[in-house]
Structure 1
């Protein structure tokens, strides 16, 4: 029998299998940037984006049309390695506290439950500065509650990205937010990093890395880490 050839003390690293990721919220400001990064990333083999309306086609993109109020728990596309969730709205857009909680808590949690049930190992959530389930402020309380409820689902890696005011071009008008962004752009260099604008591309990059290169445990990416230079 011929002996196996010696290869020396170093071995070639095993090839990385392209990941299959799910993105909930692909049409929003941050979600659009996440989607672009995923589609351009050679570490990602397929991106699943549950949507209400179709997005432009791409060879790596699988976009099941869904109703977030009646997600199909047995759909095969839930079989992914990691989830990024950028679902979110505002009180003004939602129209009521109940509707806001549905979009910012119930939908992200249901996505997490179904993906975890089908074997997903990592979840990265676009949350917010001040997220605290015990907060006196409703917005912060909802953001904290979804972080808390996702944390107990058993993901090997769970990352909460907590931006401050998000900078970028939105499809919809948010007049108060535009005024605040303008003020922060002027004062930004004088402010602590945690108070500066969080550019959407920087938020997206943090979410993508948390999904594609997940680190075991629970992690928080704070606004200071996301701030514009």
Structure 2
């Protein structure tokens, strides 16, 4: 059982780009050891080169300062922290952008939409997917109003109006003549979270999840968690799959 955990850990490290140097040296040493057992197939100088390379790597890793232990506060923040990261700067190297939010009104402002067009959809590999609540599903919208408008102590937005504005914007975006692929869909209820995934199928991906909570003071006080594969490959893949499930069950416009 421990061997299987070790294999899973190695695979997780490789997917996240961790400890690759150590794995490469270990693999080379294992190959040389195997060749040494079956005969004198490896020149002596090459064997010593491998030994010295392994020692050099070990010494180098020992001299590196210890990485600070991750803290919960390093992963969790409110919406202001996410905004301060500057959404547009996260799109510069992006080819994928997946969004789910009840109205996505804050993400679909003019500045962000311009960045989506000029930084992501300009690429032939660009893939932008946006899912919002179904404006024709009155039960879903009414529940969303109760969750997101009526539960706030200081509401500053109206979900119905925001959703209508976003749907109009999504229709305009679907008419853009761009190299990449743009699509949007409608979800039949609010699951209590929003997702922004940038390059979710890539090693350098980032996923931001916002939890809607209950009776927040304001929209900006909702808790966010930002995940990368380096933080947790398991939970990164979990939230990417959550979006894929939402998307596959959402209604085409």
Q: Please report the TM-score for the alignment, with normalisation by the length of structure 2.
A: 0.26
As a proportion of its length, which structure holds more helix?
2
Higher relative contact order (CA 8 A, sep 6+): 2
Larger Rg: 2
Q: Please report the TM-score for the alignment, with normalisation by the length of structure 1.
A: 0.28
